[in-house]
């Protein structure tokens, strides 16, 4: 469960450090005191989209820290281990939002992505907003709630995995069948392209070598002229050759080295240079003698390079990539010529996957119908408790008209309601009264949460639109939920707040230049005053306080 909430510089909250306990905690305060910002903080810490507008005025960043006790949440402990984020039996979540809109998240002091944070959050907290009934109008959400109530997730995962396999194989099969209609024309075209490329002698193809040889032959006249000039300069010119000058330098240095022995090393270096110069000149002379202009070879190279460049432009590839292109075309040709075999294999695989999907989907449909009956009985009973004595709730599980496999099975799940006897049941979206829809929504949320393993549940003004005795029943239901887990409830109703095990009060401080909100745990008499305030009236009288005490006493008598 959530044991501590710490907020720094988030909207109207300058600094808040709040310890939370197990059971039901009511969160109350004047309108505009800042109750919603606490839920905003929780949402941000759990992976909601960040915005620079959340950062408190004149501050550089906002920070939210959550501490969870995972003692009774083995699924969360295992998830953290699987992602190398575990830290014994506690979990620390930190989210920082900068004034430029950027944000960072960590789990147990290790940086994580928003997706990872959201995956963990689903195992820790479940939030029911005050507009949850709008979401409930969606058939996908109705299906999700039924599957959650029925604990269908493992079977649903198998159905969806099978669907994805079938969809992938079936898509390839359809593409092959479509391509097969003009197979002969495509096969002929591929053979022509491959034959055209094979004229390049792809086994010995090397465009780089061809280009280098072409460049050499194209510049051979200049190469030979410069080479011969260098041979003359290095060795063959008796008067001005490098070899002759080095020979003279060696002779003169050797002569004076008799008087300066340390010059012997220089003399040796010059002698070595003379030898190297002579060897270089001889090798250059041999190279020149072996070179001969070959107009025929030049013509062949120019023809080959011309063909290569033409094919490169035609296929929109670099000359070096032509062998790879030929391999790809050959593989495609093989695929086309053997597509009949592939189509037969894929057809068989598609048929097997379809049978598997139908079997799994049928099992899922049966579970949904069985658990749907149980769910509608429980919600109908609660709807009656919430002031709709004639109300009936139905879960309609019907087969989709399209027989092709679908994600999440082959059922259409729809929640129906009959508010008055003698009238046919209607979809939730057709319920006319907003108050009725709010009560039905609350009944669905509370019922589907009874079997939920999420340790912390947050209800944000889900009791809007009700009052009186019905509000007290709502409080009792939320209190019963809090017996086995942690329930946080933002409410404006004293009947609900009086049922809570703990009472948190949000108040606004206007004494400074920038408004700030704080939260504190109310003690016995403080709680009486707050319930009395919520009961109404400009002036709180002793009768109002007495009524508040009576409500708290009644609430504490409940489990």
What pLDDT shows up at residue 477?
85
502 has pLDDT over 90: yes
What pLDDT shows up at residue 537?
67
If you average pLDDT over residues 95-115, what whole number do you get?
A: 92
C-alpha–C-alpha distance, residues 491 and 509, integer Å: 20
What pLDDT shows up at residue 361?
94
Residue 196 binned pLDDT confidence (cut-offs 50, 70, 90): confident
C-alpha–C-alpha distance, residues 517 and 27, integer Å: 13
- Cβ-contact 214, 370 below 8 angstroms: no
C-alpha–C-alpha distance, residues 201 and 191, integer Å: 16
If you average pLDDT over residues 495-504, what whole number do you get?
A: 92
Name the residue among 122, 116, 35, 25 with its Cα closest to residue 73: 122
Beta-carbon-side half-sphere exposure of residue 115 (alpha carbons within 13 Å): 1
Question: Is 506 strand, coil or helix?
Answer: strand
What pLDDT shows up at residue 91?
92
The rounded Cα 464 to chain-centroid distance in angstroms is 35
**pTM greater than 0.75:** no
Residue 180 binned pLDDT confidence (cut-offs 50, 70, 90): low
- Cβ-contact 520, 504 below 8 angstroms: yes
Residue 422 binned pLDDT confidence (cut-offs 50, 70, 90): confident
C-alpha–C-alpha distance, residues 390 and 418, integer Å: 8
**Mean pLDDT lowest for which of 8-22, 199-213, 488-502?**
199-213
Which CATH number does the domain 2-127+439-444+454-557 belong to among 1.10.260.40, 3.40.50.1110, 3.40.50.300, 3.30.70.2740? 3.40.50.300
- Cβ-contact 438, 465 below 8 angstroms: yes
Question: Is 28 strand, coil or helix?
Answer: strand
Name the residue among 8, 29, 13 with its Cα closest to residue 461: 29
What pLDDT shows up at residue 510?
66
Residue 339 binned pLDDT confidence (cut-offs 50, 70, 90): low
- Strand ordering across the sheet containing 516-521: 125-128, 456-460, 486-490, 23-29, 502-509, 516-521
**Mean pLDDT lowest for which of 142-156, 458-472, 529-543?**
458-472
C-alpha–C-alpha distance, residues 41 and 7, integer Å: 7
- Residue 504's CB: how many other CB atoms inside 10 A? 23
If you average pLDDT over residues 229-258, what whole number do you get?
A: 85
With pLDDT > 90 as the criterion, what percentage of the chain qualifies? 28
Residue 446 binned pLDDT confidence (cut-offs 50, 70, 90): confident
What's the helix, strand, coil split of the chain in %, to 5?
Answer: 60, 20, 25
If you average pLDDT over residues 349-374, what whole number do you get?
A: 95
What pLDDT shows up at residue 40?
85
With pLDDT > 70 as the criterion, what percentage of the chain qualifies? 92
Residue 178 dihedral angles phi and psi, to the nearest 5°: -65, -45
Residue 494 binned pLDDT confidence (cut-offs 50, 70, 90): very high
Residue 433 binned pLDDT confidence (cut-offs 50, 70, 90): low
C-alpha–C-alpha distance, residues 228 and 204, integer Å: 34
Q: Can you name the residues that pair with 427 across neighbouring β-strands?
A: 416
What pLDDT shows up at residue 512?
60
If you average pLDDT over residues 164-176, what whole number do you get?
A: 91
Q: Which residues of 133-155 are buried (b: 16+ CB within 10 A; e: fewer)?
A: beebbeeebbbbbbbbbbebeeb
Name the residue among 92, 94, 45 with its Cα closest to residue 69: 92
Residue 208 dihedral angles phi and psi, to the nearest 5°: -65, -45
453 has pLDDT over 80: no
| 3-state SS, one letter per residue, for 208-229 | HHHHHHHHHHHCHHHHHHHHHH
If you average pLDDT over residues 214-225, what whole number do you get?
A: 87
User: How does pLDDT run across 20-76, given as a tens digit for each residue?
Assistant: 999 999 998 887 777 777 888 888 998 888 888 889 888 899 999 999 998 888 888
What pLDDT shows up at residue 511?
62
Q: Which of left, alpha, beta for 414 (phi over 0: left; psi -120 to 50: alpha)? A: beta
User: How does pLDDT run across 286-313, given as a tens digit for each residue?
Assistant: 988 888 878 888 888 888 888 888 888 8
199 has pLDDT over 80: no
User: How does pLDDT run across 395-406, given as a tens digit for each residue?
Assistant: 999 998 888 899
Question: Is 466 strand, coil or helix?
Answer: coil
C-alpha–C-alpha distance, residues 516 and 432, integer Å: 40
372 has pLDDT over 90: yes
DSSP string, 62-76: EEEEEEEE-TT-HHH
Can you point out the beta strands (E) in 152-297? none
Give the residue extent of every domain in the chain: 2-127+439-444+454-557, 186-337
């Amino acid at each position: 469960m959530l044991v501590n909430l710490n907020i720094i510089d988030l909207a109207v909250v300058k600094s808040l450090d709040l310890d939370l306990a197990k059971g039901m905690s009511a969160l109350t305060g004047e309108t505009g005191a800042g109750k919603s910002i606490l839920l905003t903080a929780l949402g941000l810490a759990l992976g909601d989209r960040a915005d620079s507008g959340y950062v408190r005025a004149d501050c550089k960043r906002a920070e939210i820290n959550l501490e969870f006790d995972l003692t009774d949440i083995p699924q969360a402990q295992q998830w953290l281990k699987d992602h190398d984020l575990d830290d014994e039996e506690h979990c620390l979540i930190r989210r920082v939002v900068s004034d430029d809109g950027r944000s960072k998240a960590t789990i147990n002091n290790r940086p994580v992505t928003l997706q990872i944070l959201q995956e963990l959050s689903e195992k820790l907290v479940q939030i029911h907003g005050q507009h949850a009934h709008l979401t409930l109008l969606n058939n996908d959400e109705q299906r999700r709630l039924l599957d959650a109530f029925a604990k269908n997730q493992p079977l649903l995962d198998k159905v969806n995995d099978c669907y994805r396999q079938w969809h992938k194989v079936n898509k390839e099969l359809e593409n092959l069948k479509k391509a097969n209609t003009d197979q002969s024309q495509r096969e002929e075209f591929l053979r022509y392209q491959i034959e055209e490329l094979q004229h390049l002698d792809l086994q010995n193809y090397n465009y780089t070598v061809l280009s280098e040889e072409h460049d050499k032959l194209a510049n051979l006249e200049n190469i030979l002229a410069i080479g011969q000039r260098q041979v003359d300069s290095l060795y063959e010119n008796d008067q001005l050759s490098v070899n002759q000058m080095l020979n003279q330098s060696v002779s003169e240095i050797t002569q004076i080295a008799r008087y300066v022995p340390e010059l012997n090393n220089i003399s040796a270096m010059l002698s070595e240079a003379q030898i190297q110069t002579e060897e270089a000149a001889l090798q250059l002379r041999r190279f020149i003698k072996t070179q001969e202009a070959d107009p025929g070879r030049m013509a062949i190279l120019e023809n080959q390079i011309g063909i290569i460049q033409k094919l490169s432009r035609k296929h929109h590839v670099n000359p070096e990539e032509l062998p790879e292109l030929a391999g790809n075309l050959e593989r495609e040709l093989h695929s086309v010529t053997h597509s009949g075999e592939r189509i037969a294999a894929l057809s068989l695989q598609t048929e097997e996957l379809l049978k598997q999907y139908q079997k799994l989907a049928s099992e899922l449909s049966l579970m949904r119908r069985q658990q749907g009956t149980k769910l509608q009985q429980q919600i109908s009973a609660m709807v009656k408790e919430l002031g709709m004595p004639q109300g009936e709730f139905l879960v309609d599980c019907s087969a989709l008209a399209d027989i092709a496999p679908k994600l999440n099975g082959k059922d259409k799940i729809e929640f129906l309601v009959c508010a008055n006897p003698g009238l046919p049941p209607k979809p939730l979206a057709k319920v006319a009264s907003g108050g009725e829809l709010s009560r039905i929504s609350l009944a669905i949320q509370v019922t589907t949460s009874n079997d939920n393993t999420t340790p912390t549940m947050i209800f944000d003004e889900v009791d809007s639109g009700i009052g009186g005795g019905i509000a007290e029943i709502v409080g009792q239901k939320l209190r019963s939920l809090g017996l086995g887990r942690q329930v946080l409830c933002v409410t404006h109703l004293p009947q609900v707040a009086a049922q809570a095990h703990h009472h948190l009060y949000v108040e606004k401080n206007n004494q400074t230049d920038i408004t700030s909100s704080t939260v504190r745990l109310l003690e016995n008499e403080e709680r009486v005053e707050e319930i009395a305030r919520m009961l109404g009236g400009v002036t709180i009288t002793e009768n109002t306080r007495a009524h508040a005490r009576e409500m708290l006493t009644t609430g504490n008598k409940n489990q």
